[in-house]
Amino acid sequence: MITESGPVRAGSPAVSSPDPVSSPCTGDWAALRTGSDPLLVALLPRRSAIVRSAAGRSSHGQALAANIDIVVVAVSLAAPLNPGRIERLLALAWDSGARPVLALTKQDLADPADADAARAEVATLAPGVDTVVTSATTGAGLDVLTALAHGTTVLLGPSGAGKSTLANALLGAEVLATGAVRAQDGKGRHTTVHRELLPLPGGGVLIDTPGLRGIGLQDAADGLEQVFAEIEQLAEGCGFRDCGHDREPGCAVQQAIHTGELSERRLASYRKLLRESDWAASRSDARNRAGRTDQQKSITRHLRATYRFRERQQ
Ligand SMILES: Nc1nc2c(ncn2[C@@H]2O[C@H](COP(=O)(O)OP(=O)(O)OP(=O)(O)O)[C@@H](O)[C@H]2O)c(=O)[nH]1
Ligand SMILES: [Mg+2]
Ligand SMILES: [Zn+2]
């Protein structure tokens, strides 16, 4: 933890909350009991939080970082573009309450024509998102990114995208370890293993994160609405209010696909991510219900026993 007298390591009491989303995470502001054994006594309310659905079969969410102002989604220009992953990361970013920025990294390694094509494609994936083309080698775009970063900035993206390299460039020092990507497919080797929070020279802090393997969406409907804003907008022109954008007559979304204004891939991606988000949301509702009824269950059990007793009496 960083305090006015520098960093300290503080214990945190056994987490009493059953929901891991509310466990302390990088970027949290906390109240400390100081002394020889500093102890975290309270977390301040978060103004934003990046929550993914945790790995495994549990439907719990996991907060990756809190109180974020800017989420920089790093995408390498030296690897094939993965539109679905960009949309997923942007949904996570928007949904956190922070402002997403796209950094297209490794410009120096990309063929200029390919870089232009990637930029054009990314523009259709990220309406309303500032996009910066960067190179840690030539320094391109770093000034723009420095200007965009303020408050708490977090770097997100797949392993090998160049997050730690970008972080070092923004920090003005080689603080974070970086690692070469695999030659055959440009994938990273998961060099960063912990989230790191570091002060930026111009003020604010920067959080570098490990490249996420699976980023499940947890009830990110608001984020998806932002990422797929143009589909939401088109849907307002559909004949039916609850149009499924399938074969309904007067469907403005299908019409846009027909004219090439909207790609089928994008509609499919929207549906897939919405399904995933809704599923996680319903699971967590079910879990909340289950938690609440623990007490009710014991009452029911008690009642049932009473009924059985009465039946025997008759
Ligand atoms: N030429 C060039 N190489 C870069 C650039 N940015 C990153 N790299 C290289 O890409 C590789 C991966 O960079 P990292 O910064 O370790 O990637 P990361 O996103 O932090 O990856 P993880 O920590 O595994 O999640 C390293 O070999 C970097 O030197 C760039 O702008 N230009
Ligand atoms: Mg890294
Ligand atoms: Zn429709």
Domain spans, the chain: 2-43, 49-217
Pairing of strands 2-3, 6-7: antiparallel
Q: Is 105 in the pocket of ligand 1 (CB under 6 A)?
A: yes
DSSP-assigned letter for residue 15: P
Lowest mean pLDDT among 122-131, 165-174, 246-255, 299-308: 299-308
pTM of the model: 0.86
Please tell me the distance between residue 255's alpha carbon and the centre of ligand 3 in angstroms. 8
Please tell me the distance between residue 179's alpha carbon and the centre of ligand 1 in angstroms. 6
Q: Report which ligand 1 atom has the smallest distance to the Cα of 210.
A: 25
Answer whether residue 36 shows pLDDT above 90. no
Main-chain dihedrals φ then ψ at residue 275, nearest 5 degrees: -60, -45
CB 191, CB 179: distance < 8 Å:
yes
DSSP-assigned letter for residue 311: H
pLDDT interval class at 41 (50, 70, 90): confident
Q: What percent of the chain has pLDDT above 90?
A: 53
What's the pLDDT score for residue 307?
Answer: 46
Mean pLDDT of 215-231: 90
Please tell me the distance between residue 146's alpha carbon and the centre of ligand 2 in angstroms. 18
Quick one: CA dihedral 121, 126, 132, 135, positive or negative? Answer: negative
Write the pLDDT tens digit of every residue in 109-159.
999 999 999 999 999 998 889 999 999 999 999 999 999 998 999 999 999
Main-chain dihedrals φ then ψ at residue 271, nearest 5 degrees: -65, -45
- 197 pairs with which residues across the strands? 207
How far, in Å, are 33, 196, 204, 259 from residue 3 at the CA level? 11, 16, 14, 57
Q: Is 178 in the pocket of ligand 1 (CB under 6 A)?
A: yes
What is the length of the chain? 314
Mean pLDDT of 251-278: 95
Angle between helix 83-95 and helix 264-313 axes, rounded to 10 deg: 60
Write the pLDDT tens digit of every residue in 194-203.
888 999 998 9
Query: Ligand 1 pocket test: which of 155, 164, 190, 215 has the largest number of ligand atoms within 8 Å of its C-beta?
Result: 164
CA–CA dist 172, 305 (Å, integer): 70
For atom 6 of ligand 1, the residue with the nearest CA is 162
Residue 45 host element (H or E): none
Q: Which is more confident, 40 or 291?
A: 40
Q: Report which ligand 1 atom has the smallest distance to the Cα of 138.
A: 31
Main-chain dihedrals φ then ψ at residue 160, nearest 5 degrees: 90, -5
Mean pLDDT of 161-187: 91
Please tell me the distance between residue 163's alpha carbon and the centre of ligand 1 in angstroms. 6
Kindly state the tokens that stand for 156: 């997100």
Using DSSP's 3-state secondary structure scheme, residue 274 falls into helix
Q: Which fold has domain 49-217?
A: Rossmann fold (3.40.50)
Q: Is 164 in the pocket of ligand 1 (CB under 6 A)?
A: yes
Please tell me the distance between residue 209's alpha carbon and the centre of ligand 3 in angstroms. 39
